[in-house]
Amino acid sequence: MIIVKIGFIGTGVMGTGVINNLLRQGNDVTVYNRTREHAASVIANGAKWAASPAAATVGNEIVFTMVGFPADVEQVYYGSDGILSVATADQVLVDMTTSSPRLAKKLAQAAAQVVDTPVSGGDVGARKGTLTVMLGGRQAVVDKIMPVLKQFSSSQHYFGPAGSGQHAKMANQIMIAGTMTGMSEMLVYAKRAGLDLEEVVQTVGSGAGANWSLSNYAPRILRDDYTPGFFAKHFLKDLRIALDEAERESLHLPATAEAKRLYELLVERDGLGDDGTQALVKLWWH
C-alpha cells in the first residue's frame, strides 16, 4: 500500500468523496476549505485541518486542489497565503478543478511539478472511487502520482503537456451537454404524452439511447431529488470555458451554445445554480 502525506484544498461534494477514499487507503491527509464546517465530515474521518492553503501545503508530498471556479484556483495558488507562497520544487501540485486550459499552463510555469487532473464521474464516482481522470503535464510527474490517483479512480488517461487534461475535460463536458438536454427533453415529452416515466427510463436506458446522464440523473428526477452530484452553476462555468476555447480555435458549436443558454436560464434567471445539473428539467416542469 502506498501511503503519502497529502494536502487537499476543497471539501465540496466531489472533494469529500476523493478525500474519504484517500483516508481509507491510510494516507496522512490535511485539508483546507473556505468554510470549515463543510470539512467536518472528512475531519471526523481522520483528516487534519489547516487554516489556509499555505498551511495545507507545507510538509506534504502532493497537494490537491478541487475548488469551484478558475478564480478560486487563482486565489488558492496565488493568494498571500496561497500554495505558491510556500511550495517547494519537490512537491507535486495537482489541480483537479475543471478549469481553463490557459490557467493550467500558467500554473505549470509557476511551479516545478504541476499536473492538471480534472475528473468525470460525479458524486457517485467520487464516493465509490471510480472516477475517470484526464491528465495534462509532464509525463514523469504524472507517473509519480499515478499510484495515488488509482486510489480514487478506476480510469486514468494522459493527454500531453499542461492544459491537455483540461482540454479533454472540455470535450467531456461538450458530450454531457448533449446528454443532459436530451434526457431532459425526453422526460418532458414522455410526461406530456402520459407515459409511465420509470418505464420510459428503463426502456431508453436498455437501447441505443443509453447514457450516463440518463442512468444516474433520470432516477433522481423521478424521485424529485435535485441535490447536487454536480452543481448546475459549475456546469455552466464549464460550458462557458468550452465555448471560449472553441471560439479561440474558430469553432462554432451550436448545440453546446444552446445548452449554455438553457443553463443560464436555470442558474441566472431562476436562481437554481446550487441545484444539481439534473434541475435543467425544471425549465419545463416544477
In sequence order, which residues have a C-beta less than 8 Å from that of residue 223 and are 6 or more positions away? none
Cα separation, 226 vs 85, whole angstroms:
39
| Nine cell digits for residue 112 | 516545478
| Nine cell digits for residue 273 | 445554480
- List 114's β-bridge partners, or say none: 93
Instruction: Determine phi and psi for 226, rounding to 5 degrees.
Output: -115, 20
Residues 139/170, Cβ–Cβ less than 8 Å = no
Cα separation, 144 vs 156, whole angstroms:
13
Q: Going by DSSP bridges, is the β-strand pair 131-137/28-32 parallel, antiparallel, or unpaired?
A: unpaired
Name the active-site residue from 105, 169, 237, 260: 169
Residues 224/275, Cβ–Cβ less than 8 Å = no
| Nine cell digits for residue 32 | 483546507
Note if 169 is an active site residue: yes
Q: Show which residues are catalytic.
A: 169
